[in-house]
Amino acid sequence: MTAFDARIKETAALVETALDQLLPRRSGPLGRVVDAMRHGALDGGKRLRPFLVIAAADMFGAPRARSVRTGCAVEMIHCYSLIHDDLPAMDDSDLRRGRPSVHRAYDEATAILAGDALLTQAFEILAAPETHPDGDIRCRLALELAKASGKEGMVGGQMIDIYAEQKNFDLAGIEELQRLKTGAIIRFSAIGGGIVGGATDAEVEALRRYAEDLGLAFQIVDDILDATADAQTLGKPSGQDAEMDKATFIKLLGMDGARRKAAELVDRCKAHLAPFGARAEPLKGAADFVFARKS
Ligand code: GRG
């Protein structure tokens, strides 16, 4: 196991424990939505976004209790987006993280509510004093996560993506779509770690540049995996982009071109970390991990 593997495993375990505590089981009708939230959020996924939060915050000596809570907030947004993306009205997907998607394990109404409740709880976590004693920092975290999640971020990107199924996009169009759909939450993860750690504006800006290139590389690799990996390895259906004739990086650049572009972006994103010196090794490792990932 590499040092990076050990590190992402360690932070994933911290996030798992914290999410478990943030989502205590309930009895009665409330219990059903909590169980569905737990199904969608616990025991699965690479936990890449919380890793980025924690690794960025570590560079500034932030207490782990604060960065893990910030990481849980972003993971809850991510899990909500996966639950809603799998619904029949969107991707209509039965499999997620190797398990039945939430609407298959429960029902559509419960899945919608579980996603809504995860989205809402993310902001409850950021607003709570345990996340940071300084109300200005908490407010800045909530503002940035709201912008990353909403119409100027992930939701906006998802809307464009649904529209893209009927439209031909050029490279700039796809880059813009992905900058919103997957990039905005990845960008929040890196800068949110900086903010909770007390980074200067210049340091937050360097993290933003790193995360923008990383987010794009992540999406290109996602397109490559959709075209090349099997559903069992991915833990979700594969081959869907081609089936739906979706606008992807592979469609525009070809497989080799897409691989080359992802590699260039990974090199470039690591270069943005130069101001942090050796402290940035875990974030550099995350970039290599994104490029090499198989699921
Ligand atoms: C429904 C509002 C709304 C938004 C959905 C992000 C998104 C927008 C949908 C997810 C669909 C998808 C497969 C997007 C491609 C990139 C992506 C987010 C992949 C899943 O993220 P990973 O690989 O998943 O980090 P794990 O399971 O490891 O957390």
pLDDT tens sequence across 145-194: 999 999 999 999 999 988 876 667 889 999 999 999 999 999 999 999 99
Ligand 1 in reach of 237 Cβ (< 6 A): no
How many angstroms is it from 78 CA to the middle of ligand 1?
Answer: 7
Ligand 1 in reach of 42 Cβ (< 6 A): no
At 270 the pLDDT is 97
Ligand 1 in reach of 217 Cβ (< 6 A): no
Ligand 1 in reach of 81 Cβ (< 6 A): yes
How many angstroms is it from 178 CA to the middle of ligand 1?
Answer: 11
How many angstroms is it from 135 CA to the middle of ligand 1?
Answer: 30
Structural domains in the chain, CATH included, are: 3-292 (1.10.600.10)
At 166 the pLDDT is 61
How many angstroms is it from 133 CA to the middle of ligand 1?
Answer: 31
The parts of the chain modelled with pLDDT lower than 50 are none
Mutate to test the pocket of ligand 1, among 116, 161, 182 (most ligand atoms within 8 A of CB): 182
How many angstroms is it from 214 CA to the middle of ligand 1?
Answer: 15
User: Could you identify the atom of ligand 1 that is nearest to the CA of residue 97?
Assistant: 27
User: What is the rounded distance in angstroms from the CA atom of residue 27 to the CA atom of residue 47?
Assistant: 28
> Could you tell me which residues come within 8 angstroms of residue 100 by beta carbon, excluding any fewer than 6 positions away?
94
Mutate to test the pocket of ligand 1, among 101, 181, 295 (most ligand atoms within 8 A of CB): 181
Ligand 1 in reach of 46 Cβ (< 6 A): yes
How many angstroms is it from 28 CA to the middle of ligand 1?
Answer: 31
